[in-house]
Amino acid sequence: MRTILVIDDDKSICESLSLYLTEEGYQVETALSGEEGLRRIQAESWDLIILDIFLSDADGLEILHSLREKAPEASVIMITAFHDMPTTVRAMKLGAVEYIHKPIEIDELDAAIKRVLVRKADARRDGRDFVPLSTHFRERDIVGKSKVMKEIFKIIGIVSQSKTTVLIEGESGTGKELIARAIHDHTDPGKPFISINCSAIVETLLESELFGHEKGAFTGASYRKLGKFELADSGTLLLDEIGDMSLNMQVRLLRVMQEREFERVGGRDKIKTDVRIIAATNRSIADLVTRGEFREDLYYRLNVIRITVPPLRERREDIPLMVDHLLQKLNRELHKKITHIQTQALRVLTSFDWPGNVRQLENTLRRAVVHNHGGTLTTEIVQDAMQALPKPGAESASSPIKLLDEVEKEHILNALKFAGGNRGRVCRLLGISRPTLQRKIRKYEIRL
């Protein structure tokens, strides 16, 4: 029998809820104060806690905060007579899973309770089949076990022995800057690492950003400015999206790389530079050279060591490690305590193509972590987060989410056929609860 604790200083509400919920088949206990409620929470475990925000002896939000520390897995529905946004926002930030206003509509409360308990039952059931996160985490680690990533690790080790120029090519979001930082950190960890996006700055400003300018060099130049080459001296300068650099700027960059010196805009003094250049691009520089959009001589200067970073869809075996690493990172950023991920959730993430690569994967996990309650990241939450991913067309047959749904629908149909339509047996075969099966039958409009 499911257990529910109601914490409210209004005796009539406690009695009414206790009577109704008991008739619905729940085991219900009540507490008329925050202090009593905390004592009951510490002494026993509860499937669900219904907590009033304004109590005579305590702030319900403070009780919720204490509850999160003492019983982090507890599911809490907050109830309040006030409709102000800041209180609602704070309650959800503190971990409430539902928020109900007084006077309590019993149908609304009943629906909220069922949603919470079904999610909790699914999490408990699926929690038997989960993957624990590792305890090893370093902020700028590059993770991967695929053959191609192991080769990249070797190249990083080789180029870190000197200040060789490096060209990194790969789709957007594959982690090119992370690789550049790893090269720098293993070469000159105490020296500056400066990055500039060549596609985000117009040509006239890019020249000043790279080489600096003297006071009065142009209208608005009211002071001397040091450029990225000076700021990165003796360290590393990452020229991101170099494929978008204009031909005029390519000439200036080539001269600096050849002569190891430059002049500020509006200046005459030669300034020596001892900078390692790492260039990164999501375009093929060789193709740009063929089309006359990139100087061949500069390409050869940059292409001393080339690292090609493959997209995630070509190294799916790296995705579980990525997920582990990113969840630990998000735990720190979002103050969460996720310690496990359901195996099916990991399968869903691994089967997706991720056109936006690691960046898209991280953003999707961020959405999932924000909405997840408890220490296990659930399949349902992950799938909900993936529904927000951009699709080429609303009715696109190649939509990855749609393909996943089609696979799941076929899986359920096969199980129903095998079980002769016996839903209890189907639940056992698929390892899901009856409410979850019912929900999926309605979702996919399966007719028996």
82-126: per-residue pLDDT in tens?
766 677 777 777 778 788 888 888 888 888 888 788 766 655 554
Mean pLDDT of 383-404: 58
pLDDT value at 399 more than 60? no
pTM over 0.75: no
Distance of CA 309 to the CA centre of its chain: 20
Report whether 116 contacts 75 (CB < 8 A).
Answer: yes
pLDDT value at 402 more than 60? no
Q: What span, in angstroms and rounded, lies between the C-alpha atoms of 343 and 347?
A: 6
Per-residue pLDDT tens over the stretch 157-171: 999 988 999 999 999
Q: What is the pLDDT of residue 405?
A: 62
DSSP state of 74: -
Question: What average pLDDT does the chain have?
Answer: 85
Question: What residue ranges define each of the domains in the chain, with the CATH number in brackets?
Answer: 3-126 (3.40.50.2300), 147-312 (3.40.50.300), 316-390 (1.10.8.60), 394-448 (1.10.10.60)
Per-residue pLDDT tens over the stretch 265-318: 998 899 999 999 999 999 999 999 999 999 999 999 999 999 999 999 999 999
Per-residue pLDDT tens over the stretch 356-388: 999 999 999 999 998 887 788 988 889 989 986
pLDDT band, residue 404 (cuts 50/70/90): low
pLDDT band, residue 220 (cuts 50/70/90): confident
Amino acid letter for position 30: T
Of 404 and 217, the one with more pLDDT: 217
* Residue of 200, 292, 280 lying closest to 238 (CA atoms): 280
pLDDT value at 140 more than 70? yes
pLDDT band, residue 396 (cuts 50/70/90): very low
DSSP state of 178: H
Indicate the length of the chain as a whole number.
Answer: 448
Q: What is the 3-state secondary structure (H, E, C) of 360-394?
A: HHHHHHHHHHHHCCCCEECHHHHHHHHHCCCCCCC
Q: What span, in angstroms and rounded, lies between the C-alpha atoms of 235 and 184?
A: 8
